[in-house]
């Protein structure tokens, strides 16, 4: 668990992957305001669906976060393991390698962002992915009903991620609005 949630901070000790994610976003000029406000609302006890509305999260982001949290909080353990293995641990290394390859981000341009991507490629492919596969096999243990539920959870998790990334990709292609002078 500790390895999943924390990592080395570039020359500054340890911190959470979430903090690393936020630092990487800030480094490349992405706003973290909605995420930080969402976390504040969660700390205040606001239900995640309500918090997503209050921070004006987009439809795709809301659907992705809601699906992820609904699964994590309400699905049986084998379905949670399947969703996280197939919707995260097994797809992130290739997805993040594609970003590095396509965008050509150098350490000089964005050291934290590059480190975030490289660490997920390394850790998810070498440690977390194989460990998640072993956990899932133990949780299913040859049970036909669980195998069906695992398949359904995996498909739903991947579809949720595809919807999020497709929406993001389309928004990046949309022309930027210019403020009138």
> What are the structural domain ranges in the chain?
59-172
CB atoms within 10 A of CB 128: 21
- Tell me how far CA of residue 70 lies from CA of 19, 25, 80, 85, 127, in angstroms: 23, 25, 10, 16, 26
Residues 29-86 have pLDDT tens digits of 999 999 999 999 999 999 999 999 999 999 999 999 999 999 999 999 999 999 999 9
């Amino acid at each position: 668990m500790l390895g999943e949630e924390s990592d080395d901070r570039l020359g500054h000790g340890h911190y959470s992957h979430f903090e690393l994610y936020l630092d990487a976003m800030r480094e490349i000029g992405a706003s973290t305001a909605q995420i930080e406000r969402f976390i504040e609302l969660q700390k205040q006890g606001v239900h995640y669906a309500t918090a997503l509305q209050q921070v004006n999260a987009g439809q795709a982001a809301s659907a992705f976060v809601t699906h992820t949290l609904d699964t994590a909080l309400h699905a049986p353990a084998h379905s949670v393991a399947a969703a996280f293995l197939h919707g995260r641990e097994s797809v992130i290394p290739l997805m993040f390698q594609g970003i590095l390859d396509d965008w050509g981000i150098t350490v000089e341009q964005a050291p934290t962002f590059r480190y975030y991507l490289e660490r997920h490629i390394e850790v998810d492919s070498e440690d977390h992915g194989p460990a998640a596969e072993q956990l899932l096999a133990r949780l299913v243990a040859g049970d036909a009903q669980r195998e069906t539920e695992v398949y359904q959870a995996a498909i739903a998790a991947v579809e949720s991620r595809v919807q999020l990334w497709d929406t993001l990709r389309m928004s990046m292609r949309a022309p930027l609005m210019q403020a009138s002078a």
